[in-house]
Amino acid sequence: MKTPIQGFSKLSKEEKIKWIADNYTDNSDTTIQILKKYWNQDNELQKLHDEFIENTISNYYLPFGIAPNFLINDTLYAIPMAIEESSVVAAASKAAKFWLDKGGFKTRVLGTQKIGQVHFIFKGPSEKLQEFIDAINPILVSDCKSITQNMEKRGGGITSIELRDRTHKLDNYYQLHCKFETLDAMGANFINSCLEQFSSTLKREALTYTSFNEGEQRIEVVMSILSNYVPECLVRAEVSCPINELEAEQSVSPEEFAKKMVRAVDIANVEPYRAVTHNKGIMNGIDAVVLATGNDFRAVEAGIHAYAAKDGSYKSLTRASLEDGIFKFWIEVPLALGTVGGLTSLHPLVNLALEILQKPSARELMQIVAVAGLAQNFAAVRSLVTTGIQEGHMKMHLLNILNQMRASEDEKKTLVAYFKKNAATHNAVVEALQNLRNKL
């Protein structure tokens, strides 16, 4: 029976490791060896990583790869991606190459507004509450001056504060629905600081508002927090070309290929079971770049999936069309990203990733990330409607299988060559390796 530990956070890193190894693993020596193997040999760099989170005992590595040849608004990019799933970087690179000589990707930012809310309870007439919010709106803004002055100097700040009546959803429930412009910062700390000041001002001003009756003067603030749903922080990316320029796989004609692509996207738009997997493929590309650039991929995921369900059912994030002989494929997706603050100024690989991307602004990074998602989806759907997804995926997964079976370098070389011409299912790889070893 395990017993709780008191004061774990106060232990040294060595003590934490020894405790976890002794109490939760089968072989403490092996555990300690594995954890220390992933420490960075540069002590200062390791100390930096240790301080990113609490109770650090080691580092967890993900591959950091590059998808080259992305032509975006006539600028050529090599896109860094951090991801563990095989075939993602290869698929993105293949899509980039496909569109390189067809004008590349075109993008534009449709909005950059971010949202925060003060959730509160008010037991009184909504008309009277609206009059109160209108009266104190300038005070809400002025009370935040110490927080917003630097952001305002750069062109950002609070853009609107409105009262939302949600009493039809929950008794006596209202919101201050607030919009912000945070420029190149993701802005979470900025927004949350403003919201907490709004809460203080709201409660203080209610106590002295003469139009309230005694029972109405106490506004109960439940919480103040930003929202990761940012439907007005939106970016569009698209590709298009004449149908006769589309190259498909095998013997599919450009016309039939274009029709298959549109049908596949249409299915994802009406069938939630398909839409979830369809959009997961989009997130393979988006998350990989978000993670490589030190942004919050969990926030991005949550906001994007909410956006996919904004019309009442979960739908595809991409669209495709055939009009007047032109094939068009596009995505509109909400992305709240930053290129300053947080890990962007601390993590050396994040710094390098942003340098590789030519030091983009937050708006430019939104466009690059949207392109990565669109490219990933194009590559996936293209495979699905032609050769099937497994042929390319399993060949990329081949080395993982061989490594699991502890294949030697010579065995890997032989089998990689063999499976260039043969289907690489898991059983086929196991059988081929056994046959190879039996011949030796």
Q: Is 296 a catalytic residue?
A: yes
What are the tokens at 63? 């591959």
What CA–CA distance (Å, rounded) separates 283 from 303? 12
What are the tokens at 383? 């495979």
Q: Is 393 a catalytic residue?
A: yes
The region, left, alpha or beta by phi > 0 then psi within -120 to 50, assigned to residue 312 is left
What are the tokens at 364? 């430019």
Q: What is the DSSP letter of 400?
A: H
Q: Of the residues 114, 119, 315, 393, which is catalytic? A: 393
Helix, strand, coil shares, percent, the chain, to 5:
50, 20, 30
Q: Of the residues 18, 50, 85, 256, which is catalytic? A: 85
Q: Is 85 a catalytic residue?
A: yes
Q: Of the residues 280, 305, 328, 412, which is catalytic? A: 280
Q: Which residues contact 206 (CB under 8 A, 6 or more apart)?
A: 132, 212, 216, 217, 218, 219
Q: Of the residues 296, 315, 364, 397, which is catalytic? A: 296
**How many degrees, rounded to 5, is the angle at CA 340 between CA 338 and CA 346?**
115
Produce one character per residue of 80-119: b if its CB has 16 or more CB atoms within 10 Å, e if not. Answer: bbbbeebbbbbbbbbbbebbeebebbbbebeebbbbbbbb
**How many degrees, rounded to 5, is the angle at CA 240 between CA 235 and CA 246?**
140
What are the tokens at 339? 């290129």
Which residues are designated catalytic?
A: 85, 280, 296, 393
